[in-house]
A and B are shown apart, each in its own frame.
Chain A
Amino acid sequence: MPQLVTVKVNRPDHRPIRFWIPVLPVVLVLFPVVVLVVLAAIVACVVFRIGVVRALGAAWRVISALPGARFDIEQGRTAVLVAIR
């Protein structure tokens, strides 16, 4: 599971902005929202006749595979970096 998401934004004539987002505390804070999202996903699975356990398992695999992903986009003096650890 991802532990830390780093977001870095460089803009011309602005100071660079960096965010270090610890995933677990954020998930804990947003736990009620997470529960609602999971419930909505379960309802959607039932409506579209998809195996709930399979769907949740596949979604969990996607989340677990996220560490190591890195997206770095630069355009002139503007740059955005998102790194998941």
Chain B
Amino acid sequence: MTEQRKDILDMLVAGKITAEEAEQLIAALERDQTPATVGHDARPKGKVKYLRVVVDATDNGEPSRVNVRVPLQLLRAGVRLAALIPPQALVKANASLSESGVPIDLTQLKPEQLEALVEHLDEVTVEVDSPDATVRVFCE
């Protein structure tokens, strides 16, 4: 029994609410909990192990396919390795990125933010469809 359900029953016993009101509150509680539970069961955390990148394309009339499977653990390890990059190298990388039209300040990117990003990758699915190519990025 959840804490909220117990509170509703306590209020019913104490006579603060009627039986009908208690029933309505419990029904509302179940409505709120059902989508979260279903979502959790559909994609349980910890089960996702790999990041997949699948590209199907046609190049000069010939079909080409790229299928890459990278363990998420490798991404996490890469994030830790990237955290060791010395600040002077980050400054140079920032300058190169700005010259290329990508004004990202890598010094503001913290390892914990990157780790959080990797943690939530399992909820990401990217699909790009074009006449010549299909790109899918997802976790499994």
Give the interface of A toward B (CB within 8 A). 48-51, 54-55, 58-59, 61-62, 64-76
Contact = CB atoms under 8 A, between A and B. Distances in A.
A62 B86 contact: no
B110 to A, nearest CB: 16
A68 B69 contact: yes
A61 B67 contact: no
Contact of A62 (B50, B66, B78, B89): B78
Closest 9 CB pairs of A and B: A76-B62, A61-B77, A65-B74, A65-B73, A72-B67, A70-B69, A58-B81, A62-B77, A68-B71
Nearest to B67: A72
Interface string B71-94: 101101110110110100100000
Interface residues of B, number: 24
B129 interface: no
Interface string B46-82: 0001100000000100111111111101101110110
Contacts of B50: 68
Contacts of B83: 58
Given A76-B62, A76-B63, A71 B68 contact: yes
A74 to B, nearest CB: 4
A76 B84 contact: no
B81 A48 contact: no
Given A67-B71, A69-B70, A70-B67, A75 B59 contact: yes
Given A49-B86, A67-B71, A75-B59, A61 B64 contact: no
A54 B84 CA distance: 8
B71 A65 contact: yes
B74 A72 contact: no
